[in-house]
Amino acid sequence: MPFYVFRLDVSPLTPATNPARRTLLLEPGTLFRTYVQFPRGCGGLVHAQILRGGTVIYPAPPDVTLASDGYVIAIEDEYPIPQAEEWSLIAWSEDDTYPHRIEAWLNVRAPRGRAIVDAARALFEALRAPPSAATSPPQEA
């Protein structure tokens, strides 16, 4: 079960029109649990969103932001990721003095049956491979 971690440093007065961004490639599966941590001292002045490509996924609607102070926001959801794709954590800050580090953790459940498919593929490849010389019967001259 892949577990993705976004760590994003946000400078003072980072504008919403040019947010800090951290992008990761997520493998196919189902995003089922997301956490976003705002450290103490943010005072609700740092805002964040999680995007799939260029579309805001969390929070919804897209004109809303996640913001807090010394709190971890937990999101329980079942969001399908049909193929490997880029997801981003973006954040901006109204704080005029201090930088802040925002973290997000995404749990992605592998597609159902993937392990079975991988095992079957490995077995098929093993059966297709030519026998090694050690297991081949001796050749008659």
Tokens of 24: 């990761």
pTM across the whole model: 0.78
**Interval 112-136 mean pLDDT:** 64
| Structure confidence at residue 113 (pLDDT) | 62
Asked if residue 110 lies in contact with residue 29, where contact means CB atoms within 8 angstroms, the answer is yes
Does 114 score more than 90 pLDDT? Answer: no
Does 17 score more than 70 pLDDT? Answer: yes
Alpha-carbon 60 to chain mean position? 18
Asked if residue 4 lies in contact with residue 31, where contact means CB atoms within 8 angstroms, the answer is no
Residue for token digits 């109204």?
94
| Structure confidence at residue 128 (pLDDT) | 75
Distance CA 81, CA 52 (A): 9
Q: Which residue in 24, 30, 136 sits closest to 86, CA to CA?
A: 24
pLDDT tens-place string over residues 52-87: 999 999 999 989 999 999 999 999 999 999 999 999
